[in-house]
Structure 1
Amino acid sequence: MTILVLDEGTSSTRALLFDEAGRIIDSEQQPVRCGYPRPGWVEQDADAIWEATRDVAATVIERAGGAAAIAAIGITNQRETVVAWDKDTGEPLAPAIVWQDRRTAQACAALRDGGHETFVHERSGLLLDPYFSASKMRWLLDHEGAVAQAAARGTLAFGTIDCWLRFKLTGRFETDASNASRTALMALETSRWDDDLCTLFGVPGSALPGIIDMAGDLGSCGLFGDPILVAASVGDQQAATLGQACIKQGMAKSTFGTGLFALASTGATPPKSEHRLLATLLYQRDDIRLYALEGSVFVAGSLVQWLRDMAGLVGSAQETETLARSVEDNGGVTIIPAFTGLGAPHWRADITGSIHGLT
């Protein structure tokens, strides 16, 4: 038997097939496009995300010999990105707002100026920044008529990408605790939606999914033939930390992808940072909870994409290494890739990208 992993990222969706020894024996990938309708805005088509995920899964399942050959499905995903859809129709009500989006910077600043950040940090482990899901949900309620109408009807569903994909795969409206911990609406120590946080951000609890463990019976998917158990769901950075076996207190990993994310396990104790780092849920199953200290940098690999697609300085990502090796040092030139503001530890949504040291 094999295990199918669906990896839904910011720039692509992949399906990977693992054998019983944990080796990748097949994979399929499709790009996922972002839209940039205004400065600081980053959107994706939720239907396109689902269709790409469904298609790569179907391709790999077919090559494996059909759904009967798949023991279970695991899901990992880009975090914080928000989808709003109608529970009755299953249709998206607006473009998904991506984690990189900065449109709620002023709303977050107003809450910060109102003295609410300490409360948010102590209760959720997060800070008041457009990065997190809560302010995105409020923006959708305020600016997308279809979202407000669905809320009035009682059919509005808010979810992160894990929730959206499992809704389409299984019909269940649930989010795993690792993804819920990135919304700024979950109380970190209880793994429950917090009424005070929901009130602060103006997000109705009726629109939020149930919070479940990250592994177990997370539903059954019959879209590809025989039913397949969905057995795991983990936000991408927590998944990377667990995949590197960073479970014991003090063990850490750093992932370079679209952004850069460093996580250090703190064991069963939620961390209390004095340096504006984040506390996040690393693992939850049954009565076991593990936590991590996280530093998030918004732009890493996407800087290479900018050099290729926007600046036109390279024709392929691989050329950046050749260019870097062609000089002794940077000559005092530094680029600050704050294309979507600065993340940890500064959390400055107002900072923009810049190049320094040119002569």
Structure 2
Amino acid sequence: MTGPVLAVDQGTSGTKALVICPERGVIGTGFAAVHTRRLPGGLVETGPEELYESVLVAGRRAVAEADEPIAALGLANQGETVLAWDPDTGLPLSDALVWQDRRAAGVCAELAEHAEELRQLTGLPLDPYFAAPKMAWIRRHLTRDGVVTTSDAWLVHRLTGTFVTDAATAGRTQLLDLDRTAWSPRALELYGLSGERLPEVVDAAGHIGTTTAFGPRIPLTGLVVDQQAALFAQRITAPGGAKCTYGTGAFLLAHTGEQPRRGGSGLVSCVAWRLAGRTSYCLDGQVYTAASAVRWLTDLGVITGAADLDRVGAGVPDSGGVTFVPALAGLAAPWWRGDLRGSLTGLGLDTRAGHLVRALCEGLAAQVVELAEAAARDLGTPLDVLRVDGGLTRSALLMQTQADLLQRPVEVSALPDATALGAGALARLGAEPGLTVPEALPDWKPSAVYEPRVSSDEAAERLAVFRAEVGVLLDRRPA
């Protein structure tokens, strides 16, 4: 293959598309916003047609800007967002329940006695964050018609007419046997989904179908969940490395090799990707609100957007005694208390906007430290360095805070769109069977490296304050 690939990252707040040339890099870009509805009771949903339209708009813009024939298509998806749809017409039968949605908490409560069985089988804790509880909820409360799947299967069907999902995305459902990377009859039985028609589980790279949605016929040859796409682009393809993507949420993944690691530290054991029938695994930790917490602060009028973090935060030397646990959609790994709400403590008449900004940065960074330390415990070895990507890495304040609390170097990727680039690399692999993984991956280098500037004792003190506030939240009864 000599031509460029179109890489599409369908995310929570928008869809980003890149046209990537193997020799010249990114030669076309496109973006289309997606609007999510955040409703009382932890409900987060979006219109499926808007998701699909955003893929078309972003992809067509990138293709038009590149103005060159496209050789292949790669698609990354949100992972745990689900909907019901008609496989005959392709039309949606429900809204899309976004990964942050909590309405399936009751389904999880009913399965509490099977939580450990499901974790051993699928690698995932019992939580409405994952797809299966939402799928079961849709079947109970919205419709019994059509099929109910993660959003990628619907998007792929609309684009190509095929009915598939990749192994990594299937692993986000809590319906996949982690060891076999095949649908688990037992998990389906527990969720009351035994009769469901589920998509075929395929490799992340290979010929999946063809589409004319972006102009002339293009083969779809790359398919993967978003965070694993970023892990791939960051060249973390063997044990020993970890990355964190700061997007709507923050997601830390550590590669564990070709055997799943079911640790006891609260992290998720899941599929990184399956290539040529061989599965790689990773540990996964989540922070539910990162950029969405910044957006919350913006909506309150404290700042005008993420670009304000450094300017406003620079107005004060520290957080002024303010501690922010930004659990605005609950606490994810390693605690798994999605029922909790965030806390903001230590406020006084002298509290300024800069203190709130710094407290938010500390709260986000402290949660990522918890994930990194949990990964180190499960792996039996500390992480030497953390590679990071995503929109919030543009904040020097947040990245320096991360390095300070982690007490490790933080390498900011020079690839601002790692998820799309990972999907593009997989598309190249799928279109060129003789290509090796290193040949398909983009060159990696940091745009900046943040070294810790505080002592380990000071970092420990700041983390202890944060952990004490988390402890107060954890002592509350489940809602």
Q: Give the structure-1-normalised TM-score.
A: 0.93
Distance 2:233 2:319 in 1: 35
Q: Where does residue 338 of structure 1 map in the other structure?
A: 327
Q: Where does residue 143 of structure 1 map in the other structure?
A: 141
Are 1:166 and 2:156 an aligned pair? Answer: yes
Q: Is the 8 A contact 1:75 1:232 kept in 2?
A: yes
Q: Is the 8 A contact 1:158 1:209 kept in 2?
A: no
Q: Where does residue 351 of structure 1 map in the other structure?
A: 340
Moved beyond 6 Å, runs of 4+: none
Runs of 5+ unmatched residues, structure 2: 349-479
Are 1:129 and 2:127 an aligned pair? Answer: yes
- Equivalent residue in structure 2 for 1:120, among 111, 114, 118: 118
Distance 2:176 2:283 in 1: 16
Q: Where does residue 311 of structure 2 map in the other structure?
A: 322
Q: Which amino acid aligns with 2:72?
A: A
Q: Which has the higher helix share?
A: 2
SS at match of 1:318: helix
Q: Where does residue 422 of structure 2 map in the other structure?
A: none
Q: Where does residue 204 of structure 2 map in the other structure?
A: 214
| Distance verdict in 2 for CA 1:349–1:225, change over 3 Å | closer
Q: Is the 8 A contact 2:250 2:289 kept in 1?
A: yes
Q: CA deviation digits over 1:59-83, x for unaligned, max 9?
A: 22233336xx001000111110002
Q: Which amino acid aligns with 2:39?
A: P
Q: Which amino acid aligns with 2:13?
A: S
Runs of 5+ unmatched residues, structure 1: 151-155
Q: How does 1:25-104 map to 2 (within 5 A)?
A: 25-65=27-67, 69-104=69-104
SS at match of 1:5: strand
- Equivalent residue in structure 2 for 1:242, among 213, 226, 232: 232
Distance 1:73 1:244 in 2: 20
Q: How does 1:203-352 map to 2 (within 5 A)?
A: 203-309=193-299, 311-352=300-341
| Identity fraction in percent | 40
Q: Which amino acid aligns with 2:309?
A: T
| Distance verdict in 2 for CA 1:235–1:321, change over 3 Å | same
SS at match of 1:329: coil
Q: 1:106, CA displacement in angstroms? A: 2.5
Q: 1:316, CA displacement in angstroms? A: 2.4
Q: 1:338, CA displacement in angstroms? A: 1.4
Q: Is the 8 A contact 1:157 1:209 kept in 2?
A: no
Q: 1:13, CA displacement in angstroms? A: 0.6
Distance 2:334 2:207 in 1: 37
Distance 1:2 1:129 in 2: 40
Q: CA deviation digits over 1:91-138, x for unaligned, max 9?
A: 1111100000011123212312xx211111101000100100000011
Distance 2:219 2:235 in 1: 24
Q: 1:205, CA displacement in angstroms? A: 4.4
Q: 1:254, CA displacement in angstroms? A: 1.0
Distance 1:340 1:334 in 2: 17
Distance 2:31 2:277 in 1: 36
When Rg is computed on C-alpha atoms for both structures, the one with the higher figure is 2
Q: 1:207, CA displacement in angstroms? A: 2.8
Distance 1:263 1:21 in 2: 29
SS at match of 2:60: helix
Q: Is the 8 A contact 1:159 1:175 kept in 2?
A: no
Q: Give aligned pairs, total.
A: 346
Q: Which amino acid aligns with 1:122?
A: Q
